[in-house]
Chain A
Amino acid sequence: MSTVAAVILFIGVTAYTIFGGADFGAGFWDLVAGGTDRGDHPRRVIDHSIGPVWEANHVWLIFCFVVLWTCFPDAYASITLTLFVPLAIAALGIVLRGSGFAFRHAVLRTSERRAFGALFATSSVLVPYCLGAVAGGIASGRVPAGGEAGDPLDGWVNPTSTLGGVMAVTVGAFLAATYLVWDARRIDDAPMVEYFRRRAVGAAVVAGVVAFAGIFVLRADAEYLFHGLTSRALPLVILSALCGLTALVLLFRAVHRGARLAAVGAVASIVVGWGVAQWEYILPQTLTVDEAAAPSGTIGAVIVATVLAVLFIFPAFGLLYRLDQKGVFPEAGADGTEDLEDDD
């Protein structure tokens, strides 16, 4: 029973990384798109691409929280006690990000758009960094069990957390650029296809370098995790590396078919790999999944909710993405005056 709950939790974490991560990544590209004029074109593509889907993407975070606090309440309590600071920053960053994005859509004046856009973009980097640092703190065994607080600073300012934070930002940027190539192609925007293709290649290289450096960081700082990654999770690590390489090659050679899938595969397999590597602990070396698990009545209810989600939410999600991809949502603005098509 507890294993099922852990699997559900990790499905949530993986989904959030793929959907939410790409959303953060889009914010990253927004941030580095340059000045108002130079960055205008890519920003429009980004807006157009994530506008309809961003809210739904972030419900995955709530999903992860809910599964964590119902099925593994002790772990949730310990994590929030120890990692108060990065979680608080992430929470406030999410407020800035969501409202900044929504407000930017609702105003027309350039200076206002710039201000709200800046909020959206900077918090798009801040939030995944903090969440990645939280993941690093947990994975490196810095969160003690039993509702006790660990070191409030070391819990998230440490080599593994830094790796986690940087990884989260770069992986998000990589995913986002890969998706944006696709989106730009869909709206026949050749310059933007090329623009995001280059950035996707760059992000893939950076992510690869960070991951490679990560091997040494983890060996020195997170022994249990490192051991897991190099033994039972090794197939997933290799799969991730292969997928990443495939995506890189495809993107480099401007072969668009399959690049998105390969990118998702690379990210998903490393996230799942993390889960497998720290098995059977939910908090490495202090609290096992089995010890932390809630009574079966609770887990049963969460399984029911998950089944309902698969039956009802997934099709709805599919509908949303399909309508989005089919271009049924031409406009995103406050008054329908900012169709991309109108500018081209």
Chain B
Amino acid sequence: MSSLLGVIIAVNPVPWARAQMAFTLASHIILVPLGVSWAFMTLIANYRGIKHEDRDALLLAQRWSKYMAVTFAVGAVTGTVLSFEFGLLWPRFMGQWGEAFGIPFAFEGLFFFTEAIFVSIYIYGWRRMEPWSHFWTGVPIVVAGIGGSASVIAANAWMNDPSGFTLDSAGNVAKVDAWGVIFNDAMPLMAAHMVVAAYVVGGFLVASVYAFAMLRGRLDRYHRIGFLIPFTVAAIAMPIQIGVGDSLARWVHHNQPVKFAAIGLVPETSSNVPERLLGQLNDDGTVSGGVTIPGLASWLADPSTGTSTDVQGLETVPVSDRPTVRQVNVVHIAWNVMVGLAMLLFLVSLWYGAAWLFRRDMPQSRPFLLIASTTGVLAIIAMEAGWVVSEVGRQPWIVYNLQRVDDAATPNTGVWIMFVVVVVLYLALAAALIYVLRGMSRRFRDAEGKDVEVPYGPTDGTGTRDDNPAVPEP
């Protein structure tokens, strides 16, 4: 019996550990943009609401903050799971590198604390705080959101560019320069890329919900503002993101040439490398399929030298030190998806911007709203794809050129059980989250017209509000 159990349980933990990390991160990263950028958009609405006595904007801000309470809670717990997983799945990575890799998290903790505290104050403070002091309690959430994600990305960037430490003869970390760890070379661009991504994704995601509502005929002012604020934020962030992404790609060209080769599907070092859309790397090292644009990859890698720029090929490093053929193809496709969607979203942003410029109004046509209602999902896919490029492109390393993923994983053979449980749990969580948010939305809509909630509204002097009829149970 115990031997049978042993056979069932004794499964190679490495692929399961990877799968679980990938799955839980991919889930968590969807909630991150909401945690980072939604507060900013809420504050815009809140500001409008107080400054211009705009009741719609104020109501919107209050409702957004209530959705935020839910998504922030789920983001907080899925984030906590990640901090367990560092140890549960990658104990040898943490044991070896925790003293360096771990440092940015000490500062992330500060930002997270700040965020958690002020999210509570802001969400619970609507009724009894002074309007402007209440508004200001929202500002630390925005700052902490940016600082927190930059800190986490600093740790992730360190895996791409491990620096700020010296090793002793046994290969253990002997000296640490915390500043060098946090502000490693990869950090500024990667952090900027993620923070801007949070504004792109958060903006498009929230806006797409209101675009969808407008398609269904809810064309009132409330829904219009609900669309305009986040969509404007995203449309402004989008071109910035393309610029940051372009710089980051050039950084990768110089510092992680193998990842760059995987992105561009370049087997051998050469100049005048074409940009290939789709296509694949074959097991024999040849590249086939797809559409090529001559010289573009070289030109993008360094416009100053143009098409004569050398791009290092995959074959310059031993097979064991570079991603497998399958991983290369995954990186390449993910890159195509990310860039393709970014271009699409950029065009939609241009359309929106042009309409404002020439007509002083958002595009009202049905096709625009139809496309706008899909931007949220598209932006999420682009972000996930970008993250796949970054992580899969680093394989087989967990710490670039220093530690392999295989050497970092836990030897616990029962990891697959946890993986299965986590997947089931997260799927249920996602379903429940969507159900709850939709329920809130429906309830808000049903309450329309009835004076259920006026932020900063008058109180009856006893501290309780008088215009607060209970919503009957459905």
Contact = CB atoms under 8 A, between A and B. Distances in A.
Is B a genuine binding partner of A? yes
A59 interface: yes
Nearest to B410: A81
B106 A302 contact: yes
Tell which of B80, B85, B99, B447 has the most Cβ of chain A within 10 Å.
B99
Given A55-B76, A66-B106, A313 B66 contact: no
A83 to B, nearest CB: 9
Contact of A66 (B105, B140, B439, B453): B105
A59 B105 contact: no
Interface in A281-336: 294-298, 300-302, 304-305, 308-309, 312-313, 316-317, 319-320, 323-324, 327-332, 334-336
Report the contact-size class of chain A (Cβ under 8 Å from the partner): 35 or more
A228 interface: no
B151 to A, nearest CB: 10
Contacts of B73: 55, 98-99, 101-102
Interface stretch (B202-210, B379-387, B411-419): B411-419
Contacts, number: 272
A149 B412 contact: yes
B432 interface: yes
B83 A62 contact: yes
Contacts of B452: 335-337
A305 B123 CA distance: 27
Contacts of A305: 106-107, 109-110
B80 A62 contact: yes
B128 interface: yes
A300 B103 CA distance: 10
Given A69-B102, A328-B124, 20 more contacts: A55-B120, A69-B105, A70-B102, A77-B94, A87-B88, A91-B80, A91-B84, A92-B81, A102-B73, A105-B69, A149-B411, A295-B175, A301-B181, A320-B120, A329-B120, A331-B126, A331-B127, A332-B124, A336-B468, A339-B465
A56 B463 CA distance: 26
25 contacts: A55-B119, A61-B80, A62-B109, A65-B84, A65-B87, A66-B105, A69-B98, A70-B105, A85-B414, A88-B88, A94-B80, A95-B80, A99-B77, A102-B73, A105-B70, A107-B439, A108-B443, A295-B175, A297-B176, A298-B100, A308-B110, A309-B113, A329-B125, A335-B66, A335-B447
> Is the contact region of chain A dominated by helix, strand, or loop, or is it mixed?
helix
Contacts of B66: 106, 334-335
A84 B106 contact: no
Interface string A41-60: 00000000001110110110
Contact of B99 (A79, A105, A295): A295
Contact of A298 (B178, B418, B468, B469): B178
Contacts of A63: 109, 113
A90 B418 CA distance: 12
Given A51-B124, A70-B98, A108 B471 contact: yes
Contact of B110 (A102, A108, A309): A309
Interface of A: 51-53, 55-56, 58-59, 61-63, 65-67, 69-71, 73-74, 76-81, 84-85, 87-88, 90-92, 94-99, 101-103, 105-110, 116, 147, 149, 152, 294-298, 300-302, 304-305, 308-309, 312-313, 316-317, 319-320, 323-324, 327-332, 334-337, 339, 341-342
B54 to A, nearest CB: 20
Contacts of A304: 178
B124 A102 contact: no
A77 B473 CA distance: 50
